[in-house]
Amino acid sequence: MRPVRVPAVASAVAALALVSGCGAAGGLESAGEAPSAVEPARLWPDLPPASAAPYDYGEGETARIPGITVPGGDVHRLDPVAVAQAGLKAKTDRDSGLDELPDATVRQIRACRTAPDDCPVLAPYYFDLTGDGRDELVLGIRMPGRQLAVRAYRADEGDRGDRGDRADDGDRGGLTRIMSTSDAVISVELAGRDLILRAPSAISGYEYRTAWSWDDRQQAMLATRDEILRAPERREEADRDRTPSPSAPTPESSGSAADGR
């Protein structure tokens, strides 16, 4: 395929400078010919496109959390353990089955009140993931094998109006889970409004990084970028198995843990 050449703007400007006598010191100088832009080549162009995804990874799946109301649309006023317990009965909008937790973790969540030391629900964080000016609730749930489930919850759209900080407790709305994923994560970070999950790779010295971003059309968090990258050299090999500590948010985080509110 022949490359499609775009106008060399820098060369044109330099030519104009020479014609107008601007080649003296301090004038415009040519930076050389601009590189050609090459359109992508399509492989196997006669291959018919797929009509459906081969697997359901649960992306874009949401679930209304039963029995949970959000006073004034403020997720800061929710009990994270109650949210996790109610979420065990939630039905997803597509019912992929990928949101289920291991039986041992389910038993621990149900026993959080009587056996708090074994409760797998980590301290919550609050971030404005959707860009609407209201915080969402982000929970981490420890699972066997040093796996971590990461979930984000949003007060229902109709209940997020400008009610002020002194909204009446009777003014309550529902709660929807807008993200649910799990992995053997190295860390969970916030970059802008994206949640970044770092996970170990089978290739030594590399790691996976997945960015979850709010999608207004889907009304859910989607895995918008999935990469395999060189791991930072400063990180020790043992760090591969670590899960994030909710008591130590990253410096760039705009939210805070529950005990900081």
At residue 40, the pLDDT reads 86
At residue 212, the pLDDT reads 96
pLDDT 10s digits, 27-70: 667 777 777 888 889 899 898 888 877 666 667 889 999 999 99
At residue 42, the pLDDT reads 87
CA distance 139 to 149: 8
At residue 55, the pLDDT reads 67
Instruction: Kindly give the interhelix angle for 103-110 and 80-87, rounded to the nearest 10 degrees.
Output: 140
Q: Residue type for 98, please? A: L
**DSSP for 114-141?**
T-GGG--BPPPEEE--SSSSS-EEEEEE
Q: What is the pTM of this model?
A: 0.70
Instruction: Name residues of the chain where pLDDT drops below 70.
Output: 1-28, 54-58, 96-98, 158-172, 234-261
Structure tokens at 163: 């009610």
pLDDT 10s digits, 148-161: 999 999 999 765 44
Closest to 259 (Cα-Cα) out of 250, 246, 243: 246
At residue 126, the pLDDT reads 98
Residues near 3 by beta carbon (within 8 Å), at least 6 away in sequence? 36, 37, 38, 39
3-state helix, strand, coil in the chain (%, to 5): 20, 30, 55
